[in-house]
A and B are shown apart, each in its own frame.
Chain A
Amino acid sequence: MKLQSKYIPLAATISLFAAMSVFGAVSYTGFLSPQVFLNLLIDNAFLVIVAVGMTFVILSGGIDLSVGSVVALSTIVLAKLVQHLHWDLMAAIPLVLCMGTLFGAFMGWLIQRFRLQPFIVTLAGMFLARGLCYLISIDSISITDEAYTVLAQTRLHLWTDGPMVSISAVLALAVLAAAVFVAHGTEFGRTVYAIGGSEHSAVLMGLPVARTNVLVYALSGFCAALGGVVFTFYMLSGYGLHAVGLELDAIAAVVIGGTLLSGGVGYMAGTLFGVLTLGVIQTLIMFDGSLSSWWTRIVIGALLFVFCVLQRVFEAGRKPGV
């Protein structure tokens, strides 16, 4: 009984995704092909990676508004290094990943050390990263480096002449698998859940709360930087206006994936389906052809509404409402 109610939000997300796919398959010819679904993963690989980091932060009861800007900053640093300074990829990418991690760790340290609000610290981080983008370059830098283009355009066939995936999609799945392991199978993951449940109790239990809090934001920064790297594979350019509002998409994906924003409850796998659900909405609207793109925002808003209310209903049975 208890086990069942625990999985209801996750089941709801997966059913919704399935229902939307069935709806698409019935309504539009050509919708139900493996490639359409793999494209969801290919087109949203960066969002999966960013949302995974965001899930950790939200599970710990925090929020990270800076991820969109960190993605943009990563794309532009990478483009600058590779295109203008002719760095080797194997040097540039690790540097960018380190930068993102340090940026996240710095914000986490501020939040933890000085008891600051995550919302306002990451908001400032968002401004800072976006501003740094423009300091590096106001214009978009397109990447024409040969190794880079090859890497970005490589497609791996699932079987001979079968549907294919990009390297970023594989990367996204690998990050997700690692995150599932870290969240559910390590001490760090259990501490994150404990902090999200009640930070005070976690401290009393003697868990390494301070370290975990900083690590959570560092992890989110790392994921955002990696998301930025994958984003350059997708766009082949660096630009300060890339990924505007991505943090909201990531938060929406996490919420639709069944993670409670108050922290402590949720699954990594849910986040994947959250992202895929957002993707399927876009694909449905694209297949329809007659609906304008702004309907995407409205449908996502409506979905958020439904899911939040559902969460609330499930939650109401367990916790006394405040």
Chain B
Amino acid sequence: MRTSNAPSIVKRVQAHPLLWPVVTLVLILMVNASLNPGFWMLQWRDGHLYGSVIDILNRAAPLMLVSLGMTLVIATRGIDISVGATVAISAAVAALMVGGKLVITDGVAQHVSRFPMWLAIVCALLTALACGLWNGVLVAKIGLQPIIATLILMVAGRGVAQLLTDGQIVTVYYPPYFYIGSGYLWGLPFALFIAGFVYLLMHLAVTRTALGLFIQAIGINPAAARVAGVRERLISICVYAFCGLTAGIAGLIISSNVKSADGNNAGNLLELDAILAVTLGGTLLTGGRFTLAGSMIGALIIQTLTSTIYSIGVPPEINLVVKAAVVFVVMLMQSAEFRRAVRGWVVRPAAGSHT
């Protein structure tokens, strides 16, 4: 006999979609803290916070943004493998338009951008939005499979980025632009505020409006959603366009962070990290169930993992093996079949006791 109160809380925690992502993150943080005593140390220096945790948060911002966009795409049963290319294109547009050179007027050295910075940012974001829109139209209007539709942009996009930058690494010399990726606001990295703002916006959009419900309906059964009056195609297009936009913002942060745009390497393998983050967060790749907060945690897990590997002095090459191991473990933990199998190996349930 069970009491009525306690198990319900346990059950509720067990059933909470964020349980496994949080457990994974906490575990990795604990490993981190045990290996690196100064992990949790925060210092106030030059008007902002310093420390490993802040560093991780700062570096995770682009991945968080891309993962947020990817979450909605995956929730509609899609996938967008072109985000890395979109990042490269947006970074190329921004870097080319900002450019920047040193001009000395009245004896004062001044950095001048080629176009006003706001115009460069708007153009870069519009280009990224157009990339997403293209994907969305291919998926929703022409009816291509998402992985193929976005494969086209993934293959061609990097070529386009190289075409824009003429195969060179475009360097930016315009300090105000660097604020996006490495500036600080109220002591915290500015990029984090961008990611937080986008998260908040999306959170409100999917919880305060019917949008979240519609997206879930599309993910569970697109045909049924359409019959039920959900404007499935329009919503799908918007979701892909939005994913492009978040990739564009990530492109701005990344290019601002490294002060350049590299058509070849910017956002390389980012799509895989983003898909990983989304899956680690507990969103189903088969669509229908999604969690934005989970994807944020997933992005943090991946970045923490990377930082751990760098900070404990293991050759960074092991990064990929560790990442793979974590994916395998999390993947298996998420699988109902695996949990059933393990239960079968560990305990041999008496007949009738198994529910």
Q: Measuring CB to CB, which residues of chain A are less than 8 angstroms from any residue of chain B? A: 63, 110, 113-117, 119-121, 123-128, 130-132, 134-135, 138, 240, 248, 251-252, 255, 261-262, 292, 294-298, 300-302, 304-305, 308-309, 312, 316, 321-322
CB pair B151–A124 under 8 Å, yes or no, is no
B86 CB to closest chain A CB (Å) equals 13
Asked if B118 is at the interface of the complex by the 8 Å CB criterion, the answer is no
CB-defined contacts of B317 to chain A, threshold 8 Å: 131, 134-135, 138, 240
A303 CB to closest chain B CB (Å) equals 9
CB pair B148–A261 under 8 Å, yes or no, is yes
Option from A123, A131, A300 in Cβ contact (under 8 Å) with B275? A123
CB pair B338–A114 under 8 Å, yes or no, is yes
Option from B144, B272, B324, B336 in Cβ contact (under 8 Å) with A131? B324
Instruction: Assess A134 versus B315: contact at CB under 8 Å? Given A114-B335, A301-B156.
Output: yes
Stretch from B159-167, B175-183, B192-200, B243-251 at the A interface: B159-167
CB pair B162–A294 under 8 Å, yes or no, is yes
CB pair A302–B156 under 8 Å, yes or no, is yes
CB pair B159–A297 under 8 Å, yes or no, is yes
Option from A63, A120, A261 in Cβ contact (under 8 Å) with B327? A120
Instruction: Assess A114 versus B341: contact at CB under 8 Å? Given A131-B318, A261-B147.
Output: yes
Instruction: Assess A120 versus B324: contact at CB under 8 Å? Given A294-B162, A297-B156, A298-B163.
Output: no
The 4 closest A-B pairs by CB, nearest first: A301-B156, A134-B317, A297-B159, A131-B320
Asked if B337 is at the interface of the complex by the 8 Å CB criterion, the answer is yes
CB-defined contacts of A295 to chain B, threshold 8 Å: 159, 163
Option from B156, B285, B325, B338 in Cβ contact (under 8 Å) with A298? B156
Count residues on chain B whose CB falls below 8 Å from chain A CBs: 50
Option from B167, B279, B320 in Cβ contact (under 8 Å) with A130? B320
Asked if B30 is at the interface of the complex by the 8 Å CB criterion, the answer is no
A66 (CB) vs chain B CBs: closest residue = B324
Selected A-B contacts with CB under 8 Å, 24 pairs = A115-B337, A116-B332, A120-B285, A123-B327, A128-B328, A131-B323, A134-B317, A134-B318, A134-B320, A135-B317, A138-B315, A248-B151, A261-B148, A262-B145, A294-B162, A296-B159, A297-B162, A301-B155, A301-B157, A304-B151, A305-B156, A312-B143, A321-B143, A322-B223
Question: Please, what's the 1-or-0 string for B307-347, where 1 marks a CB less than 8 Å from any CB in chain A?
Answer: 00000000101111111110110011001111001000000
A123 (CB) vs chain B CBs: closest residue = B272
Asked if B153 is at the interface of the complex by the 8 Å CB criterion, the answer is yes
CB-defined contacts of A128 to chain B, threshold 8 Å: 320-321, 324-325, 328
CB pair B320–A298 under 8 Å, yes or no, is no
Asked if B142 is at the interface of the complex by the 8 Å CB criterion, the answer is yes
Instruction: Assess A120 versus B279: contact at CB under 8 Å? Given A134-B320, A294-B163, A312-B142.
Output: yes
Asked if B154 is at the interface of the complex by the 8 Å CB criterion, the answer is yes
Give the docked Cα–Cα distance between A114 and B328 (Å).
11
A102 CB to closest chain B CB (Å) equals 16
CB pair A248–B155 under 8 Å, yes or no, is yes
Instruction: Assess A120 versus B154: contact at CB under 8 Å? Given A63-B147, A125-B324.
Output: no
Give the docked Cα–Cα distance between A127 and B279 (Å).
15
CB pair A116–B318 under 8 Å, yes or no, is no
CB pair A308–B148 under 8 Å, yes or no, is yes
A136 CB to closest chain B CB (Å) equals 10
Q: Measuring CB to CB, which residues of chain B are less than 8 angstroms from any residue of chain A? A: 79, 138, 142-145, 147-149, 151-160, 162-163, 167, 222-223, 263, 272, 275-276, 279, 285-286, 315, 317-325, 327-328, 331-332, 335-338, 341
CB pair B328–A124 under 8 Å, yes or no, is yes
Instruction: Assess A301 versus B153: contact at CB under 8 Å? Given A120-B279, A124-B327, A321-B143.
Output: yes
Option from B143, B156, B315, B335 in Cβ contact (under 8 Å) with A116? B335
Residue from B148, B322, B332 whose CB has the most chain A CB atoms within 10 Å? B148
CB pair B156–A131 under 8 Å, yes or no, is no
CB-defined contacts of B276 to chain A, threshold 8 Å: 120, 123
CB pair A297–B331 under 8 Å, yes or no, is no
CB pair B151–A135 under 8 Å, yes or no, is no
Main secondary structure of the interface of A (DSSP, over half): helix
A146 CB to closest chain B CB (Å) equals 31
Give the docked Cα–Cα distance between A128 and B279 (Å).
17
CB pair A294–B167 under 8 Å, yes or no, is yes
CB pair A301–B318 under 8 Å, yes or no, is no
Give the docked Cα–Cα distance between A63 and B159 (Å).
24
A136 (CB) vs chain B CBs: closest residue = B317
Give the docked Cα–Cα distance between A156 and B80 (Å).
45
CB pair A308–B149 under 8 Å, yes or no, is yes
Give the docked Cα–Cα distance between A26 and B272 (Å).
42
Give the docked Cα–Cα distance between A115 and B156 (Å).
33
CB-defined contacts of A301 to chain B, threshold 8 Å: 152-153, 155-157, 159
Give the docked Cα–Cα distance between A226 and B143 (Å).
36
CB pair B327–A304 under 8 Å, yes or no, is no
Option from B152, B160, B318, B336 in Cβ contact (under 8 Å) with A308? B152
CB pair B318–A114 under 8 Å, yes or no, is no
B344 CB to closest chain A CB (Å) equals 12
CB pair B332–A252 under 8 Å, yes or no, is no
Give the docked Cα–Cα distance between A298 and B145 (Å).
20
CB-defined contacts of A134 to chain B, threshold 8 Å: 315, 317-318, 320
CB pair B159–A294 under 8 Å, yes or no, is yes
CB-defined contacts of B143 to chain A, threshold 8 Å: 312, 316, 321-322
CB-defined contacts of B263 to chain A, threshold 8 Å: 294
Give the docked Cα–Cα distance between A312 and B158 (Å).
25
Instruction: Assess A116 versus B331: contact at CB under 8 Å? Given A308-B152, A309-B142, A309-B144.
Output: yes
Give the docked Cα–Cα distance between A157 and B228 (Å).
66
Known: A134-B318, A261-B148. 6 other contacts (CB 8 A): A114-B341, A116-B332, A117-B285, A127-B320, A294-B167, A304-B156
B247 CB to closest chain A CB (Å) equals 17
Give the docked Cα–Cα distance between A275 and B341 (Å).
42
Give the docked Cα–Cα distance between A126 and B269 (Å).
11
Give the docked Cα–Cα distance between A296 and B162 (Å).
11
A240 (CB) vs chain B CBs: closest residue = B317
A8 CB to closest chain B CB (Å) equals 18
CB-defined contacts of A309 to chain B, threshold 8 Å: 142, 144
CB-defined contacts of A117 to chain B, threshold 8 Å: 285-286
CB-defined contacts of B147 to chain A, threshold 8 Å: 63, 119, 261
